[in-house]
């Protein structure tokens, strides 16, 4: 543990010039740092481009969700209006047609039941 501040390429301890303090740090700049800085700049540029793509996609999806929400609100209003008209029609015409629908459903059920029962033989 002669160099406690030693990094990958640049930092190392140096002997104290005075007073015996050995905690001072000396920085040596290697020529490879320029290549590393250039590589980091390219990576930062790519990350920025990705972040801009994400922002564009998020805005697009937000607009799409807003349009979908408006469509659902309109559909809900239309359904509410149709239900109101249907209820008024049922009240005005009476509920005899509901009885006809129920009887038809029961008759259809029994026909399918007997058909299924006799077709197994």
Structure confidence by residue, pLDDT tens digits, 76-97:
999 999 999 988 887 777 767 7
The pTM assigned to this predicted structure is 0.44
* Rounded CA separation 5/22 (Å): 11
pLDDT at residue 3 is higher than 70: no
Report the distance separating Cα 114 and Cα 118, nearest Å: 6
Strand (E) or helix (H) holding 12: strand 11-13
CB 5 within 8 A of CB 12: yes
SS3 label, residue 27: strand
């Amino acid at each position: 543990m002669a160099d406690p501040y030693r990094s990958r390429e640049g930092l190392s301890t140096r002997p104290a010039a005075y007073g015996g303090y050995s905690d001072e740090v000396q920085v040596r700049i290697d020529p490879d740092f320029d290549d590393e800085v250039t590589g980091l700049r390219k990576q930062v540029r790519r990350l920025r481009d990705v972040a801009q793509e994400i922002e564009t996609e998020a805005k697009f999806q937000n607009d799409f969700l807003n349009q979908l929400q408006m469509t659902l609100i309109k559909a809900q209003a239309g359904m509410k209006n149709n239900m109101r008209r249907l209820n008024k029609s049922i009240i005005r015409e009476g509920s005899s047609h509901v009885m006809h629908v129920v009887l038809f459903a029961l008759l259809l059920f029994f026909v399918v039941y007997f058909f299924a029962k006799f077709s197994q033989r």
